Amino acid sequence: MPRPQGRTFVLSGGSSGLGRATASLLSRMGANVVVVVRGAEQLPEARAQIAGLSGRGKVDVLVGDLASREAVEGLAGEIVNRFSEIHGLLHCAGIRLPDRRLGPDETELMFSVEYLAPFLLTQRVLGPLMAGAPSRIVVLTGEGHRKGFRAPRALDLKNLQGEREFDPIAHGKHLALAKILFVQELARRLDGTGVGTLSVAPGPSRTGLLRHYPWPLRMLGQAAFLVRGAKGAELGAEHVVHAATDPELEGVTGKYLLEGREVVPSPAARDPGMARRLWEVSEELLGERFLPGES
Ligand SMILES: NC(=O)c1ccc[n+]([C@@H]2O[C@H](COP(=O)([O-])OP(=O)(O)OC[C@H]3O[C@@H](n4cnc5c(N)ncnc54)[C@H](OP(=O)(O)O)[C@@H]3O)[C@@H](O)[C@H]2O)c1
């Protein structure tokens, strides 16, 4: 993959945390950055933040609420219309909620933002990604998929939206596992296109991820992050940028990177049959087939 100067990277979650730090770093490296924020009301602040990025590349801000299919379709359409070539699509948005909440489409919110919207947006912008090849899709995930309290033993396709049982910590970990499986299946279906996919665990990072938790749960979560050696978002962002741009990762696809190193994820995250079934369940939810010729 050529160096990022002058190349175009689209990032969700650009208003805070790892996404914002990643946008800033890419901009300083001379990349053109297209930052997605949740709502139009965030545009003035996002533009002010972005004005402070002081990078050499061009910066655009787009609006897209990842909880709404209509908004994701609109966002995808705008990306495809405005950018004929994309060199990186970085799914940095995320949300942790203390209870099960449904979005405008009656879909559980954490599942929408962290899994279903990235799945759909990826499919919709494959044209510019293929035109920009070699290009990369990076999905943020975490070691929670296999470590610590309530780590999942396997993906439960009947509880993707916490419909059977909802535990906020277990649900976040379950989605981390789903994202790793998605990346593997996507890599398989994109074989030969020049579009690579990587799942990236940036390491515990001090961000606002737990801000929707009530304070006792937030304190508990933050304490767990600190015990695990949480660092500033800028360090996590370095790992995201590495995954998106490092020429040494050319040809490395479908893999899981932990803080910059390729490692083997949990056995549950290495189940090709489950990765395929998850893809099919996603298609059923969206009422459409994607990359079917490769299945
Ligand atoms: N922090 C960590 O230690 C850590 C470790 C491993 C993996 N991760 C993963 O990294 C990703 C980013 O987390 P973070 O720590 O940077 O959290 P963060 O600071 O809370 O950032 C999350 C971003 O997602 C955006 N977002 C949330 N709901 C959205 C929606 N409906 N539509 C569009 N954007 C939405 C937020 O926008 P608003 O500001 O508008 O809400 C924010 O910009 C997540 O997927 C998380 O699972 C984090």
Strands (E), the chain: 8-11, 32-37, 59-63, 88-91, 135-140, 195-201, 205-206, 231-232, 255-258, 261-263
Nearest ligand 1 atom to alpha carbon 65: 32
Q: The pTM is what?
A: 0.97
Ligand 1 centre and the CA of 256: distance in Å? 19
Nearest ligand 1 atom to alpha carbon 39: 40
Nearest ligand 1 atom to alpha carbon 38: 33
Angstrom distance (rounded) from CA 4 to CA 33:
10
Angstrom distance (rounded) from CA 202 to CA 230:
10
Question: What is the percent of the chain where pLDDT is above 70?
Answer: 97
Structural domains for the chain:
8-285 (3.40.50.720)
> Do the beta carbons of residue 137 and residue 193 sit within 8 Å?
no
Residue of 122, 155, 109, 120 whose CA lies nearest to 282: 120
pLDDT in tens, 35-49: 999 998 888 887 777
Spell out which residues line ligand 1, taking CB within 6 angstroms.
Answer: 12-13, 15-19, 38, 42, 65-67, 92-95, 113-114, 140, 142, 201-202, 204-205, 207-209, 225
Angstrom distance (rounded) from CA 144 to CA 175:
9
Ligand 1 centre and the CA of 13: distance in Å? 6
Q: How many CB atoms lie within 10 A of CB 43?
A: 14
The average pLDDT across 157-164 equals 98
Ligand 1 centre and the CA of 192: distance in Å? 31
Angstrom distance (rounded) from CA 242 to CA 252:
13
pLDDT in tens, 207-241: 999 999 999 889 988 888 888 888 999 999 999 99
> Do the beta carbons of residue 166 and residue 117 sit within 8 Å?
no
Whose Cα sits closest to atom 43 in ligand 1? 13
The pLDDT value given to residue 40:
86
> Do the beta carbons of residue 76 and residue 125 sit within 8 Å?
yes
